[in-house]
Amino acid sequence: MTDSLPETGPETASATASSTAPAAAAGHKAKKEAKKPLPVWQESILLLAIALVLAVVIKYFFVQAFYIPSPSMEPLFIKNDRILVQKVSYWGSGTPQRGDIVVFKDPGGWLSSDETRSPSNPFTKALEAIGLYPSGGHLVKRVIGIGGDRVKCCDAQGRITVNGKALDESSYLPKGTMPSEDPFDVVVPAGHLWVMGDNRGDSFDSRGHMGDPGGGFVPVDLVVGKVWALIWPWSRAKRIHTPPDFQGIPAPQ
């Protein structure tokens, strides 16, 4: 007679499962106990590092603070006003449009030494690096013409024309200010801008640099972004919109 192995019944399987369950639970509990929370000081450093990374990302891709270096944009902006510049509008194929107020890097010789000031101490320098302190060394002007446009001053009524259409700039020029006392007739090269300050009598803009190697035109690549808001002083804080004066300008011939 051949001996047969005992069959494993439901009772045996149940006993085996019940014996392994406490061991698995104990192992899981041990793992949980092993994951102790970070000390407060380490957690604070981690949160600070994350905040700094986010600030840098926001500065380079979304918004950045600047200050107004001169009275060239009065009455809208006064010297030392603080503004926010957004960069989203010029992502991808987006480019500055007529009427936009833009911040751009100095094309070379446009700023005086007083207008290129930088933070004076390490703390404010660090804040500027991450976008939490207004940056200097840049210019703020209004775009009058884009690549291909013919910008001319002036018609019989003393108005600037863009591709033959006269601009009504009364909504942003200081009262009694001429659109320009200096005559000019230029065609903006592709990839460049013709820019002017609103305070035309006190703005050394594209007109004042026509004799430079660049002809007074600003390369689009130097544009940091579009002015989105005036944030300081609080009493004058507001959103900035492109005026309707630039609508209906015909395409360049």
CA–CA dist 107, 91 (Å, integer): 21
Buried b (16+ CB within 10 A) or exposed e, 46-76: eeeeeeeeeeeeebeeeebbbbbbbbbbbeb
Determine whether 141 is an active site residue.
yes
User: Looking at the DSSP assignment, which residues form a beta bridge with residue 161?
Assistant: 152, 166
Cα-based distances in Å from 252 to 15, 52, 146: 88, 45, 9
**222, 140 in Cβ contact below 8 A?**
no
CA–CA dist 60, 226 (Å, integer): 13
Tell me 76's DSSP state: T
Determine whether 72 is an active site residue.
yes
- Two tokens, residue 51: 């905040």
CA–CA dist 150, 26 (Å, integer): 80
Residue that is written with structure tokens 């544009």 in the block: 223
Residue that is written with structure tokens 């104990």 in the block: 26
What sign results for the dihedral spanned by CA atoms 51, 87, 92, 126?
negative
Annotated catalytic residue: which of 59, 70, 72, 87? Answer: 72
Annotated catalytic residue: which of 59, 70, 135, 141? Answer: 141
- Two tokens, residue 83: 């503004």
CA–CA dist 182, 22 (Å, integer): 90
- Two tokens, residue 144: 């009058």
Task: Please identify every residue annotated as catalytic.
Answer: 72, 141
